[in-house]
Amino acid sequence: MIQYWTTLASVMGVWAFFQSLMHTVFPPEIRFLFLKIVHRLFNWCSVYCYYDITEIDGVNTNELYNAVQLYLSSSASIIGNRLSLTRGLNSSSITFGLSNNDRLVDSFNGVIVIWEHVVTQRQSQTFSWRPLPEDKRAFTLRVKKKDKAVILGSYLDFVMEKANELRRKNQDRLLYTNSRGGSLDSRGHPWESVPFKHPSTFETLAMDPEKKREIMNDLLDFANGEGFYQRTGRAWKRGYLLYGPPGTGKSSMIAAMANFLGYDIYDLELTEVHTNSELRKLLMKTSSKSIIVIEDIDCSINLTNRKKSGGSGGGGGGGGGRSSSNAVVSSYDGSPPGAGAVNGGGEDGGNTITLSGLLNFTDGLWSCCGSERIFVFTTNHIEKLDPALLRSGRMDMHVFMSYCSFPSLKILLKNYLGYDESDLENKMLEQFEEVVEKAEMTPADVSEVLIKNRRDKEKALRELLETLKMKAEKLKCMKKDEDEEQEKRALEIPKGAKVDGDDVQKGGNEEENLVEDGSVDGDDDNAATTITSKLN
């Protein structure tokens, strides 16, 4: 053993002697050139090539480094033995990553690549405006030379796309609203945000399954259709109009769309926007992959149908083009024609949003300042909206949110009571199917009955069935009374009398004029007799 250590010491002494001799005989330039030649020879003989992706590029953060780190986290969580765990800001999940100087093997289209996370100590820094981290971090990508074209082309783009998808999936979605009066927050943004935690999904949405499947397929085609929209020269956006009675699930539909696609929601309050210019600024401050919502558009401001309004806002009864869409959005308030000032919202009554401005917001040049955005309008009275706002290109898909149907009822029973169709008796199902369409109850009304009795499932079913029957009977009586009233009116018309719709309308207008002129007191019991005599 002693002889072994003696021999090792002699060898190390000889090596130190030759090293000092080489440093003395050969100058540093020759030694550097020799090492360079050896390195090139090694690279020429090697079948691999290497690419370094550093954490910091100069003084800026390298986005590709963050994308690779996020992309590898999906694979590292499966095959890694030693991982680093992180949780980002506004993130609802934990991210896995490679530990220091660890490596991971990945494949893409049959090509094998090796990622290695290299962490080294940074040399002492000189003066810098931005202090750098003590560790120098980088990912080293090793691939075969014959696969270099594939990796540098499509693979890195695939890594970036996958990282963006993971980032949207892990990050909490946000619900934005425009600040009061268009004021800016501390960061200069007109939108205020809160975390979006709505639990609604298409699975729990009380709606016909076929209609839900159609909407989901349309949303997927839109989200995956970047190439299609670029090829056809269309802006990457889509419009949805949700209309129907109150309580039919329009807001829940919007939440389900956002959860399905992983998009943020911008809830635009039009009454807080004063001018078309402010409306455009709000649009410019929205991000891609988002849903821009205007709820109850017929209530927030009055979108007068120009064909029925007689041109009070400056638009003729035109066919919906923007050239004739300068009608003021809110109803006319006595301002001179063409002034465009309306009392559409705000404390000072200075809301001057025009229909033309709203159309440009949804389908004009300004709507193209972002990509992958969905516009959703909701209304309870679609007949009040101008046809220019409803055409394809602005509202591409019209979704009628109807009263609770039998398929919707089965979804609600599963959501609130945990009942599948097989858990209910056939007789009970037949009774529900027979009466639910006639009752015309909204999903919100049905849900309220189930929530109230959710602790006693049998009682909930009985009370819901009684409520549906009572509602259906009440509607039946109302319709019967209406039919009898119409028959009574028809019998009061003398035989042979020709009634023209315009004459009836004219007579009604003349009656109103008589009351307004003071010729007839509207509160007088004999008002009807007086009006009849004057008209005759």
What is the DSSP track for 62-109?
-HHHHHHHHHHHHHHHHH-SSEEEE--TTBSSPEEEE-TT-EEEEEET
Tell me if 402 sits within 8 A of 444, measured CB to CB: no
Compute the average pLDDT of residues 412-426: 88
Rounded Cα distance between 351 and 327, Å, is: 13
pTM for the full model? 0.64
State the maximum Cα–Cα separation within the chain, in Å, rounded to a whole number.
139
pLDDT digits (tens, 9 = 90+) for 457-490: 999 999 999 999 999 999 989 888 888 888 888 8
Q: Which of 1-5, 70-74, 98-102, 484-488 has the lowest mean pLDDT?
A: 98-102
State whether the Cα torsion 91-95-99-104 is positive or negative.
negative
The pLDDT, as a whole number, for residue 61 is: 73
Report the distance separating Cα 520 and Cα 510, nearest Å: 11
250 versus 95: the higher-pLDDT residue is 250
What's the distance, Cα to Cα, between the start and end of the chain in Å? 136
Q: Is pLDDT at 399 greater than 90 in this prediction?
A: yes
> What's the helix, strand, coil split of the chain in %, to 5?
50, 15, 35
Q: Return the pLDDT at 534.
A: 43
d(CA 375, CA 383): 19
Quote the pLDDT of residue 460.
92
Contact 415, 454 (CB under 8 A): no
- Higher pLDDT residue, 166 or 262? 262
Which of 40-49, 107-116, 220-229, 442-451 is least confident? 40-49
pLDDT in tens, 301-343: 655 455 555 444 333 333 344 434 444 344 333 333 333 333 4
Where along the chain do the CATH 3.40.50.300 domains lie? 175-403
Type of residue numbered 52: D
Question: Residue 498 — φ and ψ, nearest 5°?
Answer: -100, 115
Residue with the larger pLDDT of the pair 351 and 107: 107
Name the token pair of 321: 């083009």
Chain segment 218-277, per-residue pLDDT in tens:
999 999 998 898 898 888 999 999 999 999 999 999 999 999 998 999 999 888 888 888
pLDDT (0 to 100) of residue 338: 36
Residue 130's pLDDT is: 52
Q: Which two tokens stand for residue 12?
A: 């190390």
Q: 175-403 adopts what CATH topology?
A: Rossmann fold (3.40.50)
Strands 174-178 and 264-267 turn out to be parallel
Task: Look over the chain and give the mean of its residue pLDDT values, rounded to a whole number.
Answer: 76
* Separation CA 343–CA 289 (nearest Å): 33
Cβ-based neighbours of 367, under 8 Å, separated by 6 or more:
235, 237, 283, 360, 361
Burial class (CB in 10 A: 0-12, 13-18, 19+), 70: buried
